[in-house]
Amino acid sequence: DEDNNEAEENEEDLNSSSDSESNSNSREVSESEEKCDSDQNEWAERESLSTVMEEELKNILPVHIRCASHTLNLVATTDAMVCIKSSKSLESNYNKMIDRCSSLLQLLSAPKKAENAKSILGKSLKRPVATRWNSLYDSLIQIFSLKEKILNNVQALEMTKPLKETDFRFIEEYCRCHQPIAQAIDVLQGDQIASYGYLLPTLIMTRKRLLACKDLKFHYCQKLVSGLIGAVEKRFKNIFAVVDEGRTAAVAAACHPMFKLRWLSSLNNSAQDNVMKAIQEAIEFFCDTPVDQSQTLPAGAIDDFFDFDDQPLNTDSNSITPSTSTSLSSTASNTSVASSSSARPFGSTVPEVNFIKFTTKARTDFQILNSYPIVREIFLKTNTILPPSAPVERLFSYATMCDLPKYTKLSDKNFELRVIMKCNASAAKKK
């Protein structure tokens, strides 16, 4: 009997322990399932919240447009160095030239040597600055202009590594390669004329001038020219193809009295179609009433407008010049309008015909916009954008005294007023 009782007790203990283990396992499973469900719900809430925030930000934040001057500077520095390092001979000649030019510029660090160099050369040397674009180009241009004085006064200048004739030949080719980019940067950074309508014509001129340099058959820098052309086309791919931000750039240029559509034939057929479609959509958007498709004109009345004649670029290959701003309008003439392959032909409505009339006028002053209200509205909308960030940086620089800690309590209205007054200060001084 005692043995039977002990066996029954052991069996009960085993059953109770197995029941407790199964209960604990079921609790763990249910807890893990609840945790998984909560995690899934949390991720779902996060995803829905992020989706809502992204949609709201799209309605709040403006379109981000890269600084064109900074992008061109990357072409002239980063992309150019990648191309230079890809060729051993090009890299060797470049390093020798830079090393010897640095030896000349080191004279500026010693007051007596700097004074001696100024008396021999007749002017102070420009030192390249990493934060100022085109400073290396301008410095090399100055050194090249002083070629005879430098070669004839090597001992008097006390240079440790004097420049040679081959160095000056390399400088000449290097500066010719970079001249289109340097001038484009100066044009886009101009305080008086730089608006978004200048971007596409400036880039077209830059590419044309680089292609013209490619035909010069350089001895040292032939590969560098090809590299710069590829870098410009790659970094501004959307602009040249007239997609995304390129559409805005094309419309801004088309509505600018300086350019209109003189640059259109410099683009490929696909890009030209995109230009006309972008203009068409802009006109429809800015019209007070929806475009009436029945408001059309006979084909013969507008065919004469589609006769754009592109003028070849006049490139002076015999000289190199400093990176000063040049007029972009001199590269083309005889303004016309090219046809588009869109579903509805461009010029089949009254607003589009008015735009065509605008492009055929020879006037380049802004007063002409008052005669074409739709074009004026599009111009104000698209050309308010600045292609470079330099003018904005000047407004918010330390010199404006707006970024000091003591001005942190300025209200938004007063801060905006100070910025506007700073911007208009130069105009007030002229009056």
234 and 336 share one domain: yes
pLDDT per position as a tens digit, 258-287: 899 999 999 999 999 999 999 999 998 887
Q: How far apart are CA 61 and CA 52, in angstroms?
A: 14
**Alpha-carbon torsion 356, 313, 136, 217, what sign?**
positive
Element (H, E) at 182: helix 165-188
Same domain, 126 and 263: yes
Residues 273 and 246 in one domain: yes
- Measured on CA atoms in the order 82, 88, 92, 93, is the torsion positive or negative? negative
- Among the candidates 16, 34, 61, a domain finishes at 61
Same domain, 118 and 41: no
Determine the pLDDT at residue 331.
36
Q: Examine the domain organization and report whether 416 and 296 are in the same domain.
A: no
> Do 120 and 195 fall within a single domain?
yes
Q: Is residue 238 part of a domain?
A: yes
In a shared domain, residues 54 and 78:
no
CA–CA distance, 142 with 274 (Å, rounded to integer): 43
How far from chain centre, in Å, is Cα 7?
89
Average the pLDDT over each of 95-104, 211-220, 315-324, 350-359 and give the range with the smallest value: 315-324
More confident residue, 253 or 36: 253
Domain stop point among 30, 61, 92: 61
- The yes-or-no verdict on residue 288 having pLDDT over 80 is no
Residue 220 lies in a domain: yes
279 neighbors 356 (Cβ within 8 angstroms)? no
Record the pTM.
0.70
Domain-located, residue 365: yes
Domain termination residue (choose one: 61, 87, 112): 61
State the average pLDDT over residues 115-131: 87
| Enclosing domain of residue 411 | 396-430
Please, what is the average pLDDT of the chain? 76
Same domain, 288 and 261: yes
20 and 48 share one domain: yes
CA 91 to chain centre: 27
pLDDT: is 228 or 407 the higher one? 228
Q: How many domains does the chain have?
A: 3
User: Quick one: pLDDT at residue 336?
Assistant: 41
Domain-embedded: residue 267: yes
Could you tell me if residue 391 is inside a domain? no
Same domain, 54 and 97: no
- Per the domain annotation, does 409 fall within a domain? yes
Domain assignment present for residue 129? The answer is: yes
301 and 422 in a common domain: no
Q: Are residues 29 and 83 in the same domain?
A: no
Residue at 389 is within a domain: no
Per-residue pLDDT tens over the stretch 68-120 = 988 999 999 999 999 999 999 999 999 999 999 999 988 888 888 889 888 99
